[in-house]
Chain A
Amino acid sequence: MSADFLQFLFSGITQGACYALVGLGFSIIYNASQVINFAQGEFVMIAGMAAVALIDAGAPFVLALAAGVALTVVVGVALEKFAIEPARNASVVTLIIITIGASIFLRGAAELLGGRGFRSMPAFSGNEPIVIGGAALLPQSLWVLGVTVVIIFALGRFFNSTMHGKAMLATAYNPVMAQLMGINTRLVLSLSFALAALLGGIAGVLIAPLSLTYSTVGVMLGLKGFCAAILGGLGKPMGAIAGGLLVGVSEAMTAGYLSSAYKDAVAFVIILVVLVVLPGGLFGGRSVERV
């Protein structure tokens, strides 16, 4: 029984880490602009598809991964420059709708360029499962978890110890005041899209060996990542990580112990309950609405 539990836990944590990486991207862009970027899942897809296409074309593995992530960052910045910035005076809802449009466009473009089939990316360190306490763990899961931990520390340093990071935090707290203090908030917006695309891209190449890659792979991952961000408290990076892990583990435990038919439902029920009890999310604190 404990072997089963471990198996469910491995699955849940791996999935949760994927959701967390996507959720982080939501939080970072939300902080800089109050916009929910619904093209976040597409960042994941672009990196995976581009890397696989390059590997198939004969590019060295590591170079293909780096190029996939780099392309994603370029797309992220382009999205901000050509779709969000020209409409920066529009309401937040309009901007959110623009990101939905962008996500549909990116999926279509990926389908045209990369075909309609699905492809697999070779795992970083083979497919031989590691058996721990009777449960089998893929080396790729360790990559996902390890890189997630590295990213958490790197982000922590970035936000707390660098000027750009502090500028982003300041913009998140009070955009007008930040601007008055001489922070280039437009640069911060570009930077936030670049950073979100970078995280999405890294998630994309990490997940691709597990999830395979195809033009719509980002849809569900984006939705789950959004749930993770909401659950943890939008705009709270640590919240997105906790939220992602909670959604991932609860899904796996439901599928394992209750019934796989309720798997998705349970994740959403948890979100509902948390949001009713703590409207700001797990890490949101008790925010006071100013009237």
Chain B
Amino acid sequence: MHARPSFRWLIAAFTIVALAASAVTASAAEPIRLGAFLAVTGKGAFLGDPEKKTLETYVEKVNGEGGVLGRKVELIVYDTGSEAKEALTFVKRLIEQDKVDAIIGGTSTGETMAVIREVEAAAVPFISLAGGAEIVEPVKKWVFKTPHTDRLAVEKLFTDMKARGLTKIGILSGPGGFDKSCRTNAMALAPAKGLAIVADETHGAGDTDMTPQLTRIKGAPGLQAFLYCGFGAPTSIVAKNVRQIGLGVPHYQTHGSASMSFIQGAEGAAEGVRLPAAALLVVDQLPADHPQKAVATAYRDAYTERYKEPISTFGGHAYDGLFIVLEAIKRAGGTDKAKVRDEIEKTNRFIGADGIFTMSPTDHLGLDTASFVMVEVKDGTWLLLN
């Protein structure tokens, strides 16, 4: 008799606890699940590492502010080790096991292209962080991307050359996918822009001296400007070789050279080199009325505060991808995949780190050449050109 009421109490207490717990799990069971597959290690790590850090920083921040539509955001990141074949495995896992609402990733064009068929078949909104134009051309229903394409970079460069009255261009390109894509775009765009390619040279993987190619370019009739399409250590070697042989014409490189290692590696030979870059690179020099000033500054501060390392423009791709998806989920009022996809496609004047995105059924990138700024190397750092 004595024990009965307390037993009842026990049941009541248990029920309350159970109910409370189920209430908690009910709201926690509905997080927005975002999947990411990135080249955090391997040869693409200098891209994938800041992308991962950016996603983690901002998912934490969004959750700290109460999440999206009152739901927490859960981020699942897999490291592809820069291998395209790993990318496909992880994307299958994201879709089938983790049942994510949207996928961000594919640090390189290779990793992205490897998963497109899977993503299209599973009908999951997918935002790639890779450069290649072929990701969104032709348009694929579920596939979007945030980084500038090489074509936009070349267009921006050619516009600058044209404005300076430089119409006879010599090109040197390396062996990588990025290098070749840049060269192909340059060849294709030159006639329309009224430019002539008067020299077209290449160099091999691991080459440490390009003076023979540059000597040939120097000898090309009427040469007025020089463009190097490449990435990594060769960008600095080319700058040094250009100084060595005294090429004597304006020197252009691409956004592939937009890192301090290029300037430092060239040991002064990078002075005067012009290239197109994301506004993020020169965030402090942006005029106060520049539309990206506030976004870029906030991103730079948030990233450097958390990781105590300088930002790279690559992390900005992930920032844009994350918020384009989250904004679309907000507008769609939920995570219904078809609705989210439609809303991503309706992204209109989203101000991101890479530029101002306006997507459409025929444009799944949504950037134009205005998203690039031209910079010149001056006194060992970047100078924003008007």
Q: Encode A1-38 as 1/0 by CB contact (under 8 A) with B.
A: 00010011011101100100000000000000000000
Min distance, Cβ B160 to any Cβ of chain A, angstroms: 26
Q: Are B212 and A116 in contact (CB under 8 A)?
A: no
Contact of A11 among B201, B211, B267 (CB under 8 A): B211
Contact of A14 among B209, B236, B261, B264 (CB under 8 A): B209
Q: Does B246 contact A (CB under 8 A)?
A: yes
Chain A residue nearest to B268 (CB atoms) is A127
Q: Are B261 and A118 in contact (CB under 8 A)?
A: yes
Q: Are B261 and A117 in contact (CB under 8 A)?
A: yes
One of A91-99, A206-214, A270-278, A279-287 contacting the partner: A206-214
Q: Does B216 contact A (CB under 8 A)?
A: yes
Given A136-B245, A260-B201: A119 touches B208 (CB 8 Å cut-off): no
Q: Does B66 contact A (CB under 8 A)?
A: no
On chain B, the residues within 8 Å of A214 by CB distance are 232-233
Q: Are A7 and B211 in contact (CB under 8 A)?
A: yes
Q: Which of A204-230 contact B (CB under 8 A)?
A: 207, 210-212, 214, 216-217, 219-221
Q: Does B361 contact A (CB under 8 A)?
A: no
Category for how many chain A residues contact B: 35 or more
Contact of A116 among B45, B205, B236 (CB under 8 A): B45
Q: Does B272 contact A (CB under 8 A)?
A: no
On chain A, the residues within 8 Å of B213 by CB distance are 255-256, 260
Q: Encode B190-223 as 1/0 by CB contact (under 8 A) with A.
A: 0000000000011111111101110110010000
Q: Does A165 contact B (CB under 8 A)?
A: no
> Roughly how many angstroms separate A252 CA and B214 CA in the complex, as a whole number?
11
Chain A residue nearest to B265 (CB atoms) is A120
Chain A residue nearest to B205 (CB atoms) is A220
Q: Does B244 contact A (CB under 8 A)?
A: yes
Q: Are B203 and A260 in contact (CB under 8 A)?
A: yes
Chain B residue nearest to A248 (CB atoms) is B209
Q: Does B143 contact A (CB under 8 A)?
A: no
Contact of B206 among A4, A119, A219 (CB under 8 A): A219
Q: Are B236 and A7 in contact (CB under 8 A)?
A: no
On chain B, the residues within 8 Å of A253 by CB distance are 212
On chain A, the residues within 8 Å of B246 by CB distance are 129, 136
Q: Are A119 and B244 in contact (CB under 8 A)?
A: no
Min distance, Cβ B174 to any Cβ of chain A, angstroms: 11
Min distance, Cβ B384 to any Cβ of chain A, angstroms: 24
Chain B residue nearest to A6 (CB atoms) is B215
Q: Are A119 and B212 in contact (CB under 8 A)?
A: no
Given A138-B244, A260-B201: A15 touches B209 (CB 8 Å cut-off): yes
On chain A, the residues within 8 Å of B233 by CB distance are 118, 211-212, 214, 217
Chain A residue nearest to B214 (CB atoms) is A7
Chain A residue nearest to B260 (CB atoms) is A117
Q: Are A7 and B208 in contact (CB under 8 A)?
A: no
Q: Are A261 and B209 in contact (CB under 8 A)?
A: no
> Roughly how many angstroms separate A259 CA and B265 CA in the complex, as a whole number?
27
Q: Which of B55-113 contact A (CB under 8 A)?
A: none
Q: Does B266 contact A (CB under 8 A)?
A: yes
Q: Does A122 contact B (CB under 8 A)?
A: yes
> Roughly how many angstroms separate A12 CA and B207 CA in the complex, as a whole number?
12
Q: Are B236 and A120 in contact (CB under 8 A)?
A: yes
* Residue from B212, B219, B261 having most chain A Cβ neighbours under 10 A: B212
Q: Does B307 contact A (CB under 8 A)?
A: no
Given A15-B209, A116-B45, A210-B208: A122 touches B245 (CB 8 Å cut-off): no
Q: Does B243 contact A (CB under 8 A)?
A: yes
> Roughly how many angstroms separate A256 CA and B212 CA in the complex, as a whole number?
5
Q: Are A207 and B208 in contact (CB under 8 A)?
A: yes
Q: Are B261 and A119 in contact (CB under 8 A)?
A: yes
Min distance, Cβ B179 to any Cβ of chain A, angstroms: 13
Q: Does A85 contact B (CB under 8 A)?
A: no
8 contacts between A and B (CB under 8 A): A15-B208, A117-B259, A129-B244, A212-B236, A217-B206, A256-B215, A260-B213, A261-B202
A residues neighboring B (CB under 8 Å): 4, 7-8, 10-12, 14-15, 18, 116-120, 122-123, 127, 129, 136, 138, 207, 210-212, 214, 216-217, 219-221, 252-253, 255-256, 260-261, 263-264
